[in-house]
């Protein structure tokens, strides 16, 4: 009990100090967003690390070719996945007011390190905790100003199973379409990896670090 109390006090002090300290990188953040960013290391430690991986035993024939899909980007332009052949692809459902929002930082670092071979696409969604209430232009501004995001961001939509689910997420969560997986995002910043042949190979929950060992291994880095 004493240890938990000390930890809680430490977290509170660190959070207050972080929010009160001026920072260029957080100049476009609300107080809530600053607190969530400060809490990120503790949130990561508490999150689930349960992943799913394609194997020879669980893979089946797919009914929909990944490269036949397309999305609308947050600037309104259309982006066909046929442009992504021979690239590894990381798809992430994102939100601006989440405890995992700081992963934008790691995702951008990963993209800068591997952009010759890796495409990252963020899918803003308000599905979990109403943590992405902004418009597409507000989301783009937030990502750029606070995390320097230069990878692709899709038009805001829904990633959970529903009539409004984005088509790419219908593919990712229907084993008849992708060959094996039905795991849907359980929270913001879940991750799916597509290999150079358009095959879904991994699902990672929110608490898997974009720069962590699991991700590095899955991407073959």
211: its two tokens? 């720069």
Contacts of 104 (CB under 8 A, 6+ apart): 94, 122, 143, 146, 147, 149
104: its two tokens? 């934008």
Active site residues: 98
Q: Are 89 and 194 in contact (CB under 8 A)?
A: yes
Task: Tell me if residue 28 falls in helix, strand or coil.
Answer: coil
The two counts, helices (H) then strands (E), for the chain are 7, 8
Q: How far, in Å, CA of 194 to CA of 14, rounded? A: 38
- Residue matched to tokens 């879940």: 190
Neighbours of 60 (CB within 10 A): 10
């Amino acid at each position: 009990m004493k240890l938990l109390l000390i930890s809680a006090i430490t977290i509170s002090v660190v959070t207050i100090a972080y929010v009160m300290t001026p920072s260029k990188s957080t100049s476009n953040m609300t107080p809530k967003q600053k607190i969530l960013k400060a809490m990120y290391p503790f949130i990561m430690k508490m999150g689930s690390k349960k992943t799913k991986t394609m194997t020879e035993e669980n893979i089946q024939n797919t009914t929909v070719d990944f490269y036949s899909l397309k999305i609308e980007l947050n600037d309104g332009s259309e982006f066909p996945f046929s442009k992504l052949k021979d690239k590894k692809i990381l798809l992430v459902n994102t939100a601006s007011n989440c405890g995992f929002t700081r992963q934008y930082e790691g995702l951008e670092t990963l993209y800068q390190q591997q952009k010759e071979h890796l495409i990252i696409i963020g899918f803003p969604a308000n599905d979990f905790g109403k943590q992405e209430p902004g418009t597409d232009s507000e989301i783009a501004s937030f990502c750029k100003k606070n995390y320097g995001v230069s990878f692709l961001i899709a038009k805001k939509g829904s990633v959970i199973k529903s009539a409004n689910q984005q088509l790419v997420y219908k593919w990712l969560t229907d084993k008849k379409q992708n060959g094996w997986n039905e795991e849907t995002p359980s929270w913001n910043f879940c991750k799916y990896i597509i290999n150079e042949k358009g095959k879904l190979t991994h699902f990672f929950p929110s608490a898997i670090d974009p720069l962590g060992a699991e991700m590095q291994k899955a991407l073959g880095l």
